[in-house]
Amino acid sequence: MIDWKIIDTVLLDMDGTLLDLNFDNHFWKEFVPLKYAQQQGMDLALAKQQLQPQFKRMEGQLEWYCLDYWSTALQLDIAGLKAEISGLIAVLPHVTEFLEKLQKTSKKVLLVTNAHRDSLGLKMEKTCLQPFFDGIISSHDLGLPKEQADFWKLLQQQQPFDKKNTLLIDDSLAVLNSARLFGIAHLISVSKPDSKQPKKDVADYPAIEDFRELMAGL
């Protein structure tokens, strides 16, 4: 699937790529609506109905990933609520093996995530993955989400990489599309970002179900 000899930089997404998206899906679809319903004194189904269009409206924008934004908008301590259920944070199968193998190479390995720094800090604390990366970049540091092609230009200025020798692995098709528009040559999707959901059909990019599929030749 990938010729490792020509790759010198590896860009890795966090949620749904290295970490099980079940945590985030459960948090936003069940836990936040539950807490919002309790706060507003309303039925859970009604809370979900009210929150769904608010969430949909912000998808693909930096605010969607910003815990401060949602704390203000919903009058809830979003970072605190994430900490409450942090026991659900989990690394996807064979990710650690892959990162250990990658670490033994001379390749530059960057964690590139849309996650807010509060969420990022909590997840690194829970998973202990931080030592595997040469750098950790949150889109909040650059002021643009990964869904915008200009994000990659800003990233390249901060962390120089050669587009033709760079691999990005991400579960978001919108992010992969923006990276392709920017010119990153090697793009791989993740077909099972959430361990509790069925495998996704990915038509536009090579896709892996778990990281064992990429270990040959590394």
The per-residue pLDDT for 175 is 97
Contact assessment for residue 85 and residue 27, using Cβ atoms and an 8 Å cutoff: yes
Question: Are both 106 and 73 inside the same structural domain?
Answer: no
| Average pLDDT of the chain to the nearest whole number | 95
Decide which of 68, 87, 106 is a domain's last residue. Answer: 87
Question: Which band of pLDDT confidence, cut at 50, 70 and 90, is reported for residue 103?
Answer: very high
* 81 and 129 inside one domain: no
Whether residue 73 is predicted with pLDDT greater than 90 in this model: the reply is yes
Residue-number span of the structural domain to which 44 is assigned: 23-87
- Same domain, yes or no: 104 and 186: yes
- Nearest CA among 203, 158, 206, 204 for reference residue 181: 204
Give the integer Cα–Cα distance in Å for 139 and 172.
14
Compute the average pLDDT of residues 183-190: 98
pTM (2 decimals)?
0.94
- Report residue 9: phi and psi, to 5°: -135, 135
* Continuous H helices in 104-200: 117-127, 139-142, 149-158, 173-182
Pairwise CA distance, residues 179 & 172, whole Å: 11
- Give residue 217's pLDDT: 87
pLDDT single digits (tens) 113-172: 999 999 999 999 999 999 999 999 999 999 999 999 999 999 999 999 999 999 999 999
The last residue of a domain, from among 35, 70, 87? 87
Query: Looking at the 3D structure of the chain, how many domains does it have?
Result: 2
Strand partners, 137: 112
19 pLDDT higher than 90: yes
Cα gap 71→203, rounded to integer Å: 36
CA angle, residues 62, 99, 118, in degrees to nearest 5: 30
Domain boundary among 31, 52, 87: 87
User: Is the domain of 131 the same as that of 204?
Assistant: yes
